[in-house]
Amino acid sequence: MADPRVILGEHVTAFQGYFQISRYHVQYQRFAGGMGPSVSREVFERGHAVAVLPYDPVRDEVVLIEQFRIAPYVVGDEPWLIEIVAGIIEPGESLEEVARREAHEEAGLELLDLVPAMRFYISPGASTETGQLYLGRIDSGTVDGGLFGLAEEGEDIRVHVVPFRTALGWLDEGRINVATPIIALQWLALHRSRLRRQWGID
């Protein structure tokens, strides 16, 4: 965290459970010049994630998953959300290993190719968590939908195989309202033609 534009003061662990919350006192350089006042900020330490948008360039289809999420339920929103395959990096795992493990566990998928897309912060005002996004090439003809997830983790996941244009329609309608699939589908929209040419489809 060494940065001459930031002065780190007290740092304590405010909560330690399944996740950790740390409290930092910092001063940082202001745009107008000089250092600002010391401020206290809590940071949610969750780890780092890998997310995969499975895509069949031959059929032009994507695989999306649907599952219950506690946060929207608590605030009174629809708690069954449309997302993409994702998981937290475990100690000793490579990013590609996480991508392939989660694709199998959450959707029963074998990834034929992995294309790195981008790395992004999930919620930089509150959490250290980052997401590494991949596009995973698949053969969607081998995917029947169905229910997946690990019982020991309480997962209950429904798989949707939909045309790419349908997924964009869900995005436009607001049916997809989670940041990671929004970013992934927009990334694919920008790079779809190039990838299809790369794979000899167009």
- Tokens read off for 16: 């330690």
Round to whole Å and give the CA distance between 188 and 132: 15
Round to whole Å and give the CA distance between 9 and 1: 12
Q: In terms of Cα–Cα distance, which of 82, 112, 114, 118 is closest to 99?
A: 114
Round to whole Å and give the CA distance between 10 and 131: 28
Strand-pair category, 130-137 with 85-88? unpaired
Active-site residues, by number, are 153
